[in-house]
Amino acid sequence: MDELAPEQYERLVDEVTREAAHDFRRAGQSIEEQRQACVRYFRRGHTAGLSHPELIDFLGVSSPSILDKAGYSDEDSQRVMDMLADMSDEIDGD
């Protein structure tokens, strides 16, 4: 992917993260729906040219994270982040 200007990158990240937060809000407490939201998020992010480490950071590390924006508690957020280890085949962008 070509290098994006900072404002283009910010718009791209905002779009991907806003859509993901909406997706996670809809998933609620359903583990399966959260799993599917993860898969969709990583696929969209990789398609947009964002790296796997960036996507991990936006999802649950940076503040506010996608999971924060979705209204997840610390415990719920940690469960989603722990789930990622078991999903490497489904979410790997390589």
Tell me the per-residue pLDDT of 38-73, one tens digit each, with 9 for 90 and over. Answer: 999 999 999 999 999 999 999 999 999 999 999 999
Total domains present in the chain: 1
- Do the domain assignments include residue 84? yes
- Do the domain assignments include residue 39? yes
- Do the domain assignments include residue 26? yes
Question: What is the mean predicted confidence (pLDDT) over 8-23?
Answer: 97
Q: Quick one: which of 71, 89, 63 has its CA closest to 34?
A: 71
- Do the domain assignments include residue 31? yes
Comparing 4 with 92, the larger pLDDT belongs to: 4
The pLDDT, as a whole number, for residue 79 is 95
- Do the domain assignments include residue 1? no
Whether residue 85 has pLDDT greater than 60: yes
Residues near 54 by Cβ (< 8 Å), separated by ≥ 6? 13, 45
Alpha-carbon Rg for the chain, nearest whole angstrom, is: 13
Where are the strands (E) in the chain, listed by range? none
The whole domain housing 86 covers: 6-91
